[in-house]
Amino acid sequence: MFARTCAAVFLPQCGQVRNMATLKDITIRLKSIKNIQKITKSMKMVAAAKYSRAERALKPARVYGTGTMGMQQIIHKIKFIRPHLDILVNNVNVFLVLSYLCYLALYEKADIKAPEDKNKHLIIGVSSDRGLCGAIHSSVAKAMKREIAKLSGAGKEVMIVNVGDKLRGLLYRTHGKHILINCKEVGRKPPSFTDASVIATELLNSGYEFDQGSIVFNRFRSVISYKTDEKPLFSLDTVASSENMGIYDDIDADVLRNYQEFALVNIIYFGLKESTTSEQSARMTAMDSASKNASEMIDKLTLTFNRTRQAVITKELIEIISGAAAL
């Protein structure tokens, strides 16, 4: 009788230990997921604050890349603001905007086209050093890979400039031989015109004389949407050899070089601003999705925990009743 009783009591104890271990595992997972959810919610709040600042800074920065005012309109504007010209010159942002609008009018009149018989091509990709923002970096890398494959297939020499460490990590293994410059420490602070100037200076001092090129970046469209865009780059020789450049009398080579360097800084600055705003909005969306997924996992694990706990209690009651009946 004692043998039967011991056996009857011993077997449920093993099941009880197994169920208690399962409950402990579920508790550990629940605690871990709740901690991760706290982190993702905090990151979403930080990204939302940075996104608001980036979006406000993007509107004036878009003038550097999308201005289309004609020369006559610019002259009219300058005549209108001539009494306040000294104040505007002291305001660096306004002065740069006016200078860039003049630059756009100059190049629109020149009608510059990329030469087809040139072999040296440059691609500038804009990303950052930080992750957890969806497909922001991979979309730029994919666009650059397609462009590299297309140009290499046509027999052209292609070199790339990686703005951001994430982009370098995506391209180094497969396209390491094409990398000309890697720019780090991008995305930790809001980009400035000085940052774009440093990148342009590194490119100009690299000694690589490209014939034509492009800059690939993510253009901001809305809080939940962005588009990988591309803008052309022209070398100094391409601009100088343009057929319509002759409409300007006595244009000096140094002046044209200054305009070209200024144009390079402008387009890089424009790409940095667009990419930063897109990154912050994508990170905010990604962290929001992660928080929602964590909530779903917590609900499922809580339900599993309650069911397992209920099964343990039911089993213990059955054992108690069975033991009492045996006695």
Q: Percent of the chain having pLDDT more than 70? A: 73
Q: What is the pLDDT of residue 112?
A: 59
The whole-angstrom separation of Cα 232 and Cα 227 is 16
What residues contact residue 93 under an 8 Å CB cut-off, 6+ apart?
60
pLDDT at 75 over 70: no
pLDDT at 110 over 60: no
Q: Where are the beta strands (DSSP E) in 24-153?
A: 120-126
The whole-angstrom separation of Cα 261 and Cα 233 is 11
Q: What is the pLDDT of residue 74?
A: 44
Which architecture, in CATH terms, is 50-80+114-240+251-283? 3-Layer(aba) Sandwich (3.40)
pLDDT at 95 over 60: no
Q: Please report, to the nearest 10 degrees, the dihedral formed by the alpha carbons of residues 188, 193, 197, 198 taken in order.
A: -20
CB 160 within 8 A of CB 123: yes
H helix or E strand, kind and range, residue 181: strand 179-183
User: Pick from 134, 169, 175: which is nearest to 289 by CA?
Assistant: 134
53: pLDDT confidence band, cut at 50, 70 and 90?
A: very high
Residue with tokens 């054992």: 319
Q: What is the pLDDT of residue 99?
A: 55
Computed on alpha carbons and rounded to an integer, the radius of gyration of the chain in Å comes to 31
Residue with tokens 């690589």: 208
One DSSP character per residue, 231-296 reads EEEE-HHHHHT-GGGGGSTT--HHHHHHHHHHHHHHHHHHHHHHHHHHHHHHHHHHHHHHHHHHHH
Output b/e per residue, 207-245; b: 16+ Cβ within 10 A. Answer: eeebbbbbbbbbbbeeeeebebbbbebbbeebbbebeeb
Q: What is the pLDDT of residues 202-233, one digit of tens each?
A: 999 998 989 889 999 999 999 999 999 998 88
